[in-house]
Amino acid sequence: DAGVIQSPRHEVTEMGQEVTLRCKPISGHNSLFWYRQTMMRGLELLIYFNNNVPIDDSGMPEDRFSAKMPNASFSTLKIQPSEPRDSAVYFCASRTGTSVYEQYFGPGTRLTVT
Amino acid sequence: GENVEQHPSTLSVQEGDSAVIKCTYSDSASNYFPWYKQELGKGPQLIIDIRSNVGEKKDQRIAVTLNKTAKHFSLHITETQPEDSAVYFCAASGSGGYQKVTFGTGTKLQVIP
């Protein structure tokens, strides 16, 4: 299995631009997570999907952030408009079932907003 | 909500020595404690986990201990090797249904050859 796939791996954009991050979870996994990692705040959960349905979006920082999961094999995290404080590494992770099993993380997208 | 504290933030050890990373948690309902290793440029990867009905678990050179009364758990790496150099995260969660996993702030471990 290719593991969790994220694209792009690096994104540099100017403040005010729209940014879309993409994730393909491991086939057969029905839970998907988006995390943000910064030096100041560590690893933060942004949103959790189960069977393509958002279950917990309490970590989404503000209305500029939105996430979708149109099907079991694809999810997007969108920031519009982007701001310099959104600069971080964004990880997608997936796992099987609703009980606690191992989360498999993707390689991350390093976002820089100038 | 759950709060996980992790210490130290950085740790340097000589190759062959042991390394210990300690975490505390606040929610007595938490009963699942995974540890993740993150290498440079990669996502975190689960290396070992422990559940509340177990006080200690070992897998080759790594071991975890859990003290539910004191609400702390630790990662022990013995006979450290340069490839153990990475950032290590502890985490805490409930189990069953959806339970949010709360991560510690990470420990950067450097093993000096």
Q: Taking chain B (113 residues) in consecutive chunks of 10 residues, what is each chunk's mean pLDDT?
A: 92 98 94 94 93 89 95 97 97 76 94 96
Query: What separation, in Å, do the N-terminal and C-terminal C-alpha atoms of chain A show?
Result: 36
Position B101 scores a pLDDT of 86
The predicted pLDDT at position A102 comes to 81
CB B35 within 8 A of CB B47: yes
Which candidate from B43, B46, B101 shows the least CB-CB separation from A91?
Answer: B43
CA distance B21 to A88: 25
Contacts of B46 in chain A (CB under 8 A): 102-103
Q: How far apart are CA B87 and CA B35, in angstroms?
A: 11
Contact criterion met (CB < 8 Å) for A99 and B94: no
Q: Residue B42: what pLDDT?
A: 92
Residue A53, pLDDT score: 94
Interatomic CA distance for residues B16 and A28, integer angstroms: 40
Taking CA atoms, what residue in B is nearest to A6? B43
Kindly state whether B34 is in contact with chain A, defined as any CB-CB distance less than 8 angstroms: yes
CA distances from A84 to A79, A81, A112, B88, B101 (A): 12, 10, 7, 27, 27
Picking from B13, B21, B8, B10, the residue whose alpha carbon sits closest to that of residue B111 is B13
Smallest Cβ–Cβ distance between B103 and the set A43, A50, A106 belongs to A43
| CA-wise closest residue to B23 among B11, B13, B12, B9 | B9
In the prediction, which pLDDT does B80 show? Answer: 98
- Per-residue model confidence (pLDDT) at position A88: 97
> B63 at the A interface (CB within 8 A)?
no
What is the count of residue pairs from A and B with beta carbons less than 8 Å apart?
A: 48
Q: Is B29 on the interface with A (CB under 8 A)?
A: no
Contact across the interface for B34 and A56, Cβ inside 8 Å:
no
Average pLDDT, chain A: 93
Tokens 């990867």 identify what position? B45
For residue B81, give Cα distances in angstroms to A52, B26, B36, B61, B86. 41, 32, 17, 10, 11
Residue B29 Rama label (left phi>0; alpha psi -120 to 50; beta): alpha
Tell me the pLDDT tens digit for each residue of A59-113: 998 899 999 999 999 999 999 999 999 999 999 999 886 555 688 999 999 999 9
pLDDT at residue number A97:
67
Q: Please give the Cα distance from A86 to A73 (Å, whole number).
A: 26
Which pLDDT score, from 0 to 100, does residue B36 have? 96
Q: pLDDT tens, B27-36?
A: 998 989 999 9
Closest among A44, A38, A70 to A57, alpha carbons compared: A44
Q: CB distance from B112 to chain A under 8 Å?
A: no
CB contact under 8 A, A99 and B45: no
Taking alpha carbons only, the member of B41, B15, B44, B26 closest to residue B107 is B44
Tell me whether B2 touches chain A (CB under 8 Å): no
Question: How many other C-beta atoms lie within 10 A of the C-beta of residue A18?
Answer: 11
